[in-house]
Structure 1
Amino acid sequence: MRGLGPLAPPVRVALAETVGVLPREAGLAYEPKFDGHRMVVFRTGGVRGREGGVVLQARSGRIVTGAFPDLAAAARRLPEGTVLDGEVVVWREGRIDFAAVQGRAAATPGRAPLLAERLPASYAAFDLLGVGGEDLRSLRYSVRREGLVGLLGGLGPPIQPVPMTTDPELAATWFETLPGIGVEGLVVKRLDQPYRPGVRAWRKLRHTDTQEAAVVGFTGPAERPVSLVVVLPDDDTPVVSSPLPPALRAGAGAVLRGRPTGGEATAMAVGLGDVAYREVEPGLLAEVATGTTRHTVTTVLRLRGPEGDPPGRGPVG
């Protein structure tokens, strides 16, 4: 793609390994972890189609430009040859709304402009992978960070750099106070670290081992689903949960019967490979427990409504 050289989409993104305590050794940088959808922004050379020289790529490599026309328009203000890594979030009533950003990501091109007006997206950029067509991934994080702030400092919303500190005490304060706005943890990077695609060279610290995931489908009958298919924060690849216990199957069935269903698709199930599932309308959340690697088992603990509260009179199961 003209103007991007080796950084033409799709590119593999850097990943993070979960840790249980805040790292405090010398030479570290700390950033808030926004639970949204990972996205790489490419400002290509020239104008291509309605998006006008912009390509938006999800973590999986899927091109999602059409789902985010507001961010595509904002990215046209970037210099040609710019490539950013970051997180898409939607703010509602002062908090990050993961169900809303999942709804945005699943929007068809025809519906996307309306959702962009109702649920405008923001882009929290945390890395500068390229500028002017030059690949910066081999440079130190500190150099890339300086370039990121310099590039975006005068741009303004909706594309902005995430906050960063090298002070572990300030990072600890962020960790304790930011959950109030939906920021559930920190990402920790070495200042001398290059950007390593596909490698868990960063570290992430979360408050709990559980997180909210967006329910995008189910396997088995709608009345008593065998498993739920969910999308986790910082990802866009649907995964199949472990089999639901009997009480949760009954409760999930009661909720799913009241939601519109779509067509069939496939998702990855640990130990089984790709399995077929029935899609459901976005907006339903599940509290899930996951392991520390991408393809460990995902266990559904309970369902939540579109606003994050348990549907009905209490938690399902």
Structure 2
Amino acid sequence: MIGPPLRVALAESVTALPQGTGWAYEPKFDGHRLILFADGHRVRLQARSGRLVTTAFPDLAEAARQLPDGTVLDGEVVVWADGRIDFSAVQQRAAATRAHATHLARTLPASYAAFDLLADRGEDCRALPYEERRARLVRILEPLGPPLQAVPMTTDRDLALTWYETLPATGIEGLVVKRLDGAYRGGTRAWLKLRHSDTRDAVVVGFTGGRARPQALVLVLPGDGTPVVSSPLTPALRTAAGAALPEAKGEGTAVAIGIGEVTYAALPAAPPVTVEVRQNTTRHATAVVVRFR
């Protein structure tokens, strides 16, 4: 029986779905990654970090006692509100103390969207092809129903694209793509993920790091005068930035996602430097620089 801490499989970001056959497509839920270990009446829930968070989700732990002994699942915890996923509610659940978790389980009940089977009745399934792991996952969960459910899956690329276009209103971040013959490889970016984004132009008002190879750009997005810090630049974009940016003319402050307020080198207002950015429409809303105009 495999147990925690367990390294989870990861996904590499892509900008388009792969061509050809042999792929499986799943909607990417906007929740908290959770590994579920069920061994008789002992249930353990592990966050992506490896930390055990069983006490934060007593409702899921209770539901998991219906699973066959020796079952290990990988998936996302979500909370539904008004027909869509409420990520702030998931955050409340994940941060709950043991004393408060029981109350939140009643007021903000969680669901578990399972997308992989790591062990079946004590058998380590990680080396099996995804296609077989998926079939076993469905067989285990289908008789149980909510709050433990398998995420939808299709091998039809056109249907997957329809999901991609129509499901964002429900809180779906995009798609996860897996090889049907692929093993579960913990700690490896063997999967692909296509996330929703919005590409547009932005004005560069500054940069962080050195001008010759800046770490990130400070941008003003259309319709918003508040400067924001982009995600870290790729090596190629750092080189391009060194050739495109003029000398700085002072300093400013801007907000960087996950860091807070940072000081940056400010550029002169003219001539303006513009870049094409891709802004994720998920909770992170990170501006990713695509190219210089």
Check whether TM > 0.5. Answer: yes
Aligned residue runs from structure 1 range 124-139, under 5 A: 124-139=113-128
Give the whole-Å Cα distance in 2 for the aligned partners of 1:104 and 1:290.
30
Residue of structure 2 equivalent to 1:243: 262
The answer to which structure has the higher strand fraction is 2
Match of 1:24 among 19, 24, 33: 19
Match of 1:177 among 166, 188, 202: 166
Shift in Å at residue 22 of structure 1?
1.5
Residue of structure 2 equivalent to 1:278: none
Residue of structure 1 equivalent to 2:205: none
Give the whole-Å Cα distance in 1 for the aligned partners of 2:163 and 2:38.
32
Q: Is the 8 A contact 1:67 1:112 kept in 2?
A: yes
Give the whole-Å Cα distance in 2 for the aligned partners of 1:244 and 1:65.
40
Give the whole-Å Cα distance in 2 for the aligned partners of 1:132 and 1:194.
18
Q: 1:111 to 1:229 in 2, by over 3 A?
A: farther
Residue of structure 1 equivalent to 2:221: none
Question: Are 2:60 and 1:71 equivalent residues in the alignment?
Answer: yes
Give the whole-Å Cα distance in 2 for the aligned partners of 1:77 and 1:162.
18
Residue of structure 1 equivalent to 2:76: 87
Q: 1:288 to 1:151 in 2, by over 3 A?
A: same
Shift in Å at residue 286 of structure 1?
5.9
Normalising by structure 1, we get a TM-score of 0.65
Report the AA paired with residue 197 of structure 2.
T
Question: Are 2:190 and 1:201 equivalent residues in the alignment?
Answer: yes
Report the AA paired with residue 124 of structure 1.
A
Q: 1:171 to 1:286 in 2, by over 3 A?
A: closer
Shift in Å at residue 227 of structure 1?
6.1
Residue of structure 1 equivalent to 2:32: 37
Q: Is the 8 A contact 1:17 1:200 kept in 2?
A: yes
Gaps of 5+ in 2: 200-252, 266-282
Give the whole-Å Cα distance in 2 for the aligned partners of 1:244 and 1:168.
45
Residue of structure 2 equivalent to 1:9: 4
Report the AA paired with residue 43 of structure 1.
A
Report the AA paired with residue 121 of structure 1.
A
Q: CA RMSD in A?
A: 2.2
Question: Are 2:94 and 1:102 equivalent residues in the alignment?
Answer: no
Q: Is the 8 A contact 1:209 1:289 kept in 2?
A: no
Question: Are 2:106 and 1:117 equivalent residues in the alignment?
Answer: yes
Q: Is the 8 A contact 2:257 2:284 kept in 1?
A: no
Shift in Å at residue 23 of structure 1?
1.4
Report the AA paired with residue 37 of structure 1.
H
SS at match of 1:150: helix
Residue of structure 2 equivalent to 1:277: none
Q: String of CA shifts for 1:91-147, please: whole Å, max 9, x gaps.
A: 010010111101100000000011111110000000000011110000000000000
Give the whole-Å Cα distance in 2 for the aligned partners of 1:116 and 1:244.
42
SS at match of 2:135: helix
Q: Percent identity?
A: 62
Report the AA paired with residue 288 of structure 1.
T
Q: 1:72 to 1:228 in 2, by over 3 A?
A: farther
Q: How many residues align?
A: 219
Q: 1:17 to 1:228 in 2, by over 3 A?
A: same
Q: 1:205 to 1:191 in 2, by over 3 A?
A: same
